[in-house]
Amino acid sequence: MIKTAVLVSGGGTNLQALIDASAAGEMPHAALSLVVSSRADAFALERAKRASIPAAVVARKEYASAEEYSDAMLALLRENGIGLIVLAGFLSILSPAFCKAYEGRILNIHPSLIPSFCGRGFYGLRVHEAALERGVKLTGATVHFVNEIPDGGEILLQKAVAVHEGDTPETLQRRVMEEAEWVLLPQAAELAARRLEEAGTTERKV
Ligand code: GAR
């Protein structure tokens, strides 16, 4: 099994989807070993506690730059022998050096069909506001590998979701989560972990 860390910043519903899938035996290659939050008040930490997953806070506000922050995060992940990283509503930027150190081993979930409504400044509800403003009839979610370009890495899985008449950013966000994000993220984590295991690299040697 690949030791997997989930990085979070907020409510953690995507983390919950991973916890539930793991408990249901749907992620046989990915062991949820560590949850790391960029904020001490993230409810995701409570979810980790309830699931008895070790959790830590590496608070973004305590670091002057994305580089220093990423170095601290990298040190923690290395200490824990983490082989796969899942960004699940993690809203801090990680440095190019971090992305390079875990190249091909970092997944992110984004709440749109990339390349629409993505990149710098597109996160959380803002993504759905932009989709509604543009009047698209289909949106969705994407799981992609992370590189130094925000939302720019290779796409692993995508799922489309219909926009309904009268949707608000909140109703659309909820539908995208239920129909796409919470389904895709466990599938993607399992797929990435299985591929890493098949390649014979269970632990990141960095
Ligand atoms: C999710 O909708 C996720 O796709 C989004 O933040 C939300 C976190 O919710 N991520 C981004 O916008 C990244 N650009 P959660 O904390 O309940 O999982």
Output the six-digit token pair for 82: 């983490």
pLDDT per residue as tens digits for the range 15-62 = 999 999 999 999 999 999 999 999 999 999 999 999 999 999 999 999
200 alpha carbon to ligand 1 midpoint, in Å? 31
Q: What is the 3-state secondary structure (H, E, C) of 134-193?
A: HCCCEEEEEEEECCCCCCCCCEEEEEEEECCCCCCHHHHHHHHHHHHHHHHHHHHHHHHH
Q: How far is the CA of 2 from the centre of ligand 1 (A)?
A: 23
Q: Which residues line ligand 1 (CB under 6 A)?
A: 8, 10-14, 44, 88-89, 109-111, 123-124, 127, 177, 181
What is the domain class of 2-198 according to CATH?
A: alpha beta
- pLDDT of 62-75, one tens digit each? 999 999 999 999 99
Quote the pTM value.
Answer: 0.95
- Closest atom of ligand 1 relative to the 42 alpha carbon: 16
> Domain ranges in the chain?
2-198
Sheet holding 30-37, edge to edge: 55-57, 30-37, 2-8, 84-87, 106-110, 138-145, 155-162
Lookup result for tokens 């109703």: 171
Report yes or no: 45 and 10 within 8 Å, Cβ to Cβ. no
